[in-house]
Amino acid sequence: MTDPATPTVGSAALQLPVAKKSLVASLNQPKKIKPFSKKILVDLFRGLGSMLRAQINTADALKYYSYGLPNKTLVEALLRIREDIGNGMNVHEAFRRTGRFSDTVVGLIQAGSDAGQLHQAFGSLAVRLKSELHFSKQLKKATITPSVIICVLLGAFITSQVKIVPQVEQMMKGVGAKADGMTAISFQVSHFTQAVWPVVVISLIAAAITIARSAHVRNLLLGLAMVRWRLLRLLVMSLRQMTFLSTIKLLHSNGINLAKSIRVSANSVRNTPFYEELRNAADKYEH
């Protein structure tokens, strides 16, 4: 009699196709859609805004702009937006459906479309994104150089402790000299570095990759840093206020009511405690 707890050959054969199907399904999962870069969006919205001001409708402007573009992904997205608009979909929903535009961009497009000022919305988006791009470039310049210097110094320290100091120690042992004082301490530091440097380097690389790929981790670290350093907290809060106020000014000056302006502008501070508060304020003001 066969033991019920023992898997039979038939059950194992049945499990094999299931495992193959799960593997194929995992490999065939769609890739995460990557938003367009700010540089691409600046050129796009600037061009669309210029054509709309020249009394060209949105669908035709998308078609004309996509002619001759080397970026095939952008061309496909624009033609898809044009097709959705031709099928009766709202402009902002057509942009949202691609998954390549942020909620703030979609909200500004919606506000401009509702107010009949879509060309103004595109132009304002181009100006705003260009300013953000310039700020991010300056920020990278201010952070990349010190980061590179720190990495070079760290690499030089590890090399000296792993390669050079052991050679000096061997030379002293060869001539029968005894290490004392600072020399003995430097040898102990070298021994410790040789033991832990692979773990430290791997940990630093893993931490850098995690921070670069996870927005949640970045927000968590930023929150902890803001709690610790008052100057950083004031700087970040000021930037958030400027972003929110400039967005709401842009919308309200183009005829968008205050409640909708607040709701759309709240997208500029998404993933912060202010987002839900501003959304609730917009709902209360509207009702």
Give residue for tokens 């479309």.
113
Q: Is 54 helix (H, G, I), strand (E, B) or coil?
A: coil
- The answer to whether 98 touches 28, Cβ cutoff 8 Å, is no
CB-facing half-sphere around the CA of 265: CA atoms within 13 A: 25
Q: Say what the pLDDT of residue 25 is.
A: 44
The predicted structure's pLDDT at residue 51: 92
The pLDDT of residue 187 is: 80
Quote the pTM value: 0.64
Nearest to 124 by CA among 113, 109, 135: 109
CA 228 to each of CA 7, 52, 149, 221: distance values in angstroms, whole numbers, following the listed order: 58, 48, 25, 11
| pLDDT of the chain, 287 residues: tens digit per residue | 445 444 444 444 445 454 444 444 444 455 677 888 889 999 999 999 999 999 898 989 999 998 888 889 999 999 999 999 989 888 889 998 998 888 778 878 887 787 777 888 888 888 888 887 887 788 778 778 888 898 899 989 888 888 888 888 788 777 777 767 777 788 888 888 888 888 988 998 998 888 878 777 877 887 788 788 888 778 778 877 877 887 777 777 766 777 777 887 887 777 777 788 888 888 877 76
Superfamily classification of domain 38-131: Type II secretion system (T2SS), domain F (1.20.81.30)
**pLDDT at residue 79 in the model:** 92
Identify which of 73, 54, 75 has the alpha carbon closest to the alpha carbon of residue 63: 75
